[in-house]
């Protein structure tokens, strides 16, 4: 199966999605998507399963969990990148690899396995690792650089996030290097975050899950992971995290508990990020956003930096954890601005991650700017006293600091109101009784605030 086909199935397993979002997330033209869908539907027909349906602009594939498992097992094929990840993880974890055996495991040709491992080799040599070819033992890992250790952890995070989508050969590899059940571990990590009242994402939890394999491989007897007892006494936050980790994760391996405590502590402070270049680019983008929109909240900066950092990593390493999103028309201005900013720093994000970040930016901007507004004029076509009172009450409840003046403008008379009002919302083409005018007023106010800043 082609890479495109497999990636489309990975996304449809998670969510129904618009053609536009699918095209943007996979960087594909619609013709390529339609060709892949036809190919998938032929296979689904052969299995007597539901086929991919296109309703309007939405693509959807309704299968039971068992049917999905059967489908991925039937495919028994990996994208080029998945093959590279498989070889990379296996080689690093076991210190050596036999390409002939892996060729059989992956059911690919010698030329394909050589091409995939050449990619692994180039990547590792670039990162400063050392590899030796041995005719008797296969290919051996002589020295592993810190950069490759970091990348190894990220690739482990990826396969844990995609556990439900793994084909048999990937599952065999994952089961051979972990000593826990992924869903139970993720549940415990989620409980730790809830108990600490910290927000988490599936990528953060999967990373902390992968940390167990990482610690087992590299730091089983490493004394640097011993928690400093004096620091525990001084730092109440670190002590609290350690207590919660030890309680909920009572059966976690000792070194994993220590590492987990430090990682949760540092992640909560936006520290200890493994990919310096990614965090640097993310920081530059956030700083520019704060400067342009006059934002200053450190709590907000911490939140949005985490979303940006994780979003960039997801896109750079093709971690297809995606959901469908719908942009409101007044989000388009902010989206266009954000896309230009991403392009400036050569950064790409999936649509759902853009949406999440834009939503947070918009919310923060509006919370700040609405407090600075005193007077707003609303021009309408026709005044109905009953609807006018309802609207005024709703506006007062939602924007208590703003004085709203509602005027009839049935002749569409242009007046110089700018001196007296911070914003003028012209809804004069619609009567006050037509539709929910509050929603229209709120949306137009948001748009005017964003337009005014940009």
Write the pLDDT tens digit of every residue in 344-371: 999 999 999 999 999 999 999 888 888 8
Q: Where are the domains of the chain?
A: 3-75, 80-174, 180-268, 276-369, 371-453
Confidence band for 49, pLDDT divided at 50, 70 and 90: very high
The residue ranking higher by pLDDT, 79 or 274, is 79
The fold of 3-75 is Arc Repressor Mutant, subunit A (1.10.10)
pLDDT at 276: 81
Radius of gyration of the chain (CA): 27
Among the listed ranges 82-86, 123-127, 222-226, which one has the minimum average pLDDT value? Answer: 222-226
pTM: 0.82
Asked whether this chain's domains 3-75 and 80-174 adopt the same fold, the reply is yes
User: Any long-range contacts for 340-345 (C-beta under 8 Å, 24+ apart)?
Assistant: 341/285, 341/288, 341/289, 342/285, 345/281, 345/284, 345/285
The CATH code belonging to domain 80-174 is 1.10.10.10
pLDDT exceeds cutoff 80 at 282? yes
Residue with the bigger pLDDT between 327 and 252: it is 252
b/e burial code for range 76-103 (CB count within 10 A of at least 16 → b): ebbbeebbbbbbbbbbbbeeebebeebb
- Residue 390: pLDDT band (50, 70, 90) is confident
């Amino acid at each position: 199966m082609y890479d495109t086909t497999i990636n489309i199935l990975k996304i449809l397993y998670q969510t129904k999605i618009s053609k536009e979002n699918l095209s943007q997330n996979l960087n594909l033209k619609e013709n390529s998507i339609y060709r892949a869908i036809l190919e998938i539907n032929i296979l689904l027909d052969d299995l007597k399963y539901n086929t991919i349906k296109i309703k309007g602009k939405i693509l959807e594939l309704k299968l039971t969990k068992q049917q999905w498992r059967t489908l991925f097992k039937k495919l028994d094929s990996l994208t080029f990148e998945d093959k590279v990840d498989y070889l990379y993880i296996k080689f690093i974890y076991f210190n050596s690899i036999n390409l002939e055996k892996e060729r059989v495991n992956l059911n690919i040709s010698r030329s394909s396995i050589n091409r995939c491992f050449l990619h692994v080799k180039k990547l590792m040599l670039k990162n400063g690792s050392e590899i030796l070819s041995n005719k008797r033992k296969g290919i051996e890992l002589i020295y592993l650089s810190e950069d490759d250790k970091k990348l190894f952890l990220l690739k482990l995070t990826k396969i844990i996030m995609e556990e439900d989508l793994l084909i048999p050969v990937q599952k065999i590899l994952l089961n051979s290097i972990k000593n826990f059940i992924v869903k139970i571990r993720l549940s415990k990590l989620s409980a730790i975050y809830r108990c600490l009242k910290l927000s988490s994402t599936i990528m953060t939890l999967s990373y902390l899950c992968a940390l167990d394999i990482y610690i087992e491989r590299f730091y089983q007897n490493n004394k640097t992971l011993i928690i400093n007892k004096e620091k525990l006494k001084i730092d109440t936050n670190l002590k609290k995290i350690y207590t919660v980790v030890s309680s909920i994760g009572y059966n976690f391996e000792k070194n994993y508990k220590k590492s987990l405590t430090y990682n949760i502590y540092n992640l909560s402070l936006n520290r200890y990020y493994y990919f310096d270049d990614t965090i640097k680019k993310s920081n530059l983008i956030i700083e520019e956003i704060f400067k342009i929109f006059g934002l200053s909240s450190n709590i907000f900066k911490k939140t949005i930096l985490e979303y940006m950092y994780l979003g960039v990593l997801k896109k750079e390493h093709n971690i297809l954890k995606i959901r469908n999103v719908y942009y409101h028309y007044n989000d388009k201005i902010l989206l266009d601005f954000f896309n230009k900013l991403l392009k400036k720093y050569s950064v790409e994000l999936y649509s759902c991650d853009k949406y999440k970040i834009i939503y947070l930016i918009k919310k923060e901007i509006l919370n700040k700017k609405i407090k600075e507004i005193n007077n707003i004029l609303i021009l309408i076509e026709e005044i109905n006293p009953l609807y006018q009172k309802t609207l005024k009450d709703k506006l007062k409840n939602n924007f208590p600091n703003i004085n709203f003046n509602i005027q009839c403008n049935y002749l569409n008379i242009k007046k110089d109101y700018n001196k007296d009002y911070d914003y003028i919302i012209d809804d004069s083409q619609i009567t006050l009784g037509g539709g929910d005018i509050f929603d229209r007023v709120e949306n137009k106010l948001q748009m005017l605030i964003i337009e005014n800043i940009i």
